[in-house]
Amino acid sequence: MRIVLLGAPGSGKGTQAALLEQRLGVPHISTGVLFRKAVKDQTPLGQRIKTIMDSGDLVPDDLTLELLEERMNRDDTKSGFILDGYPRNLAQAESLNILLEKLGMPVQEAVQIDVDTEEVVARIAKRAAEEGRSDDTEEVVRNRMRVYQEQTAPVVDYYAEQGLLTQVLGTGTIEEVLQLILSVLDQGEADRSD
Ligand code: ADP
């Protein structure tokens, strides 16, 4: 199963993607996680992107695509993937389309987790206290939300136009949201085998 998960920062995408990885047995691929690892390991890429990430802006598309392409070329994606944090703008959505067509594994489902802004801000404040991510300060979170509205929200429409999008309400418990997503995926699978 090849899935793109969409949602604002703090919508629970990462949490759900990790659970889906266990349930579905396909890898969870998060560009945010891959970038944070590059920063932590102080690779050449990590050194270039640290300041950008700390400001809440997007890493340039060419660097992001390179990282993604390298990850997608690994064998484990043959069984499928859950993509989290990519695509984040329309150019990335188009690049992803081209890459996946080339690999013969197009996206089958795009699921957007919908949570209102106030809830999202409260969740991130809590995560900041627990995990200490350097981009979880209030000012940076505000910038990440702005980036999401301006650049990532159009990606939702992009998948809607292709008939691939389903929205689920992300305000229930983690287990409730997981069940909603699983039922969307079941339905999609049933439709595809019609
Ligand atoms: P969240 O969804 O909680 O905002 P992520 O862990 O997905 O956080 O991403 C953290 C940061 O990593 C982003 O603010 C951005 O700087 C960088 N990043 C992650 N994915 C991408 C992407 N697809 N394109 C550009 N930058 C990205």
What is the atom index within ligand 1 of the atom nearest the CA of 60?
25
Catalytic residue list contains 127: yes
Distance 194 CA to ligand 1 centre (A): 36
User: What's the residue count for the chain?
Assistant: 194
**Is residue 12, in this structure, part of any structural domain at all?**
yes
**Is residue 192, in this structure, part of any structural domain at all?**
no
- The domain in which residue 127 lies consists of 2-181
**Is residue 187, in this structure, part of any structural domain at all?**
no
Q: For residue 85, what pLDDT is reported?
A: 96
**Is residue 193, in this structure, part of any structural domain at all?**
no
With tokens 């983690």, the residue in question is 174
Dist. CA 117–CA 95, nearest whole Å:
29
Please identify which of the residues 40, 127, 142, 192 carries the catalytic annotation: 127
Q: Is 85 in the pocket of ligand 1 (CB under 6 A)?
A: yes
Q: What are phi and psi of 107, to 5 degrees?
A: -60, 135
Q: For residue 127, what pLDDT is reported?
A: 85
Distance 86 CA to ligand 1 centre (A): 8
With tokens 């209102």, the residue in question is 116
**Is residue 84, in this structure, part of any structural domain at all?**
yes
**Is residue 118, in this structure, part of any structural domain at all?**
yes
Partners of 190 in the beta sheet? Answer: none
Could you give the count of Cα atoms lying within 13 Å of 45 in the half-sphere of its Cβ?
Answer: 16
Q: For residue 155, what pLDDT is reported?
A: 98
CB–CB of 111/168 below 8 Å? yes
Dist. CA 136–CA 53, nearest whole Å:
11
Q: Is 71 in the pocket of ligand 1 (CB under 6 A)?
A: no
Contacts of 42 (CB under 8 A, 6+ apart): none
**Number of structural domains found in the chain:** 1
**Is residue 22, in this structure, part of any structural domain at all?**
yes
Q: What is the CATH number of the domain that holds 14?
A: 3.40.50.300
Q: What is the DSSP letter of 170?
A: -
Distances from the Cα of 154 to the Cα of 148, 160, 161, angstroms: 9, 10, 11
**Is residue 52, in this structure, part of any structural domain at all?**
yes
Please identify which of the residues 36, 126, 133, 142 carries the catalytic annotation: 133
Mean pLDDT by 10 residues, the chain (194 residues): 95 96 97 96 95 95 96 97 97 98 97 90 85 84 91 96 96 96 94 86
Q: For residue 100, what pLDDT is reported?
A: 97
pTM for the model stands at: 0.92
Distance 9 CA to ligand 1 centre (A): 9
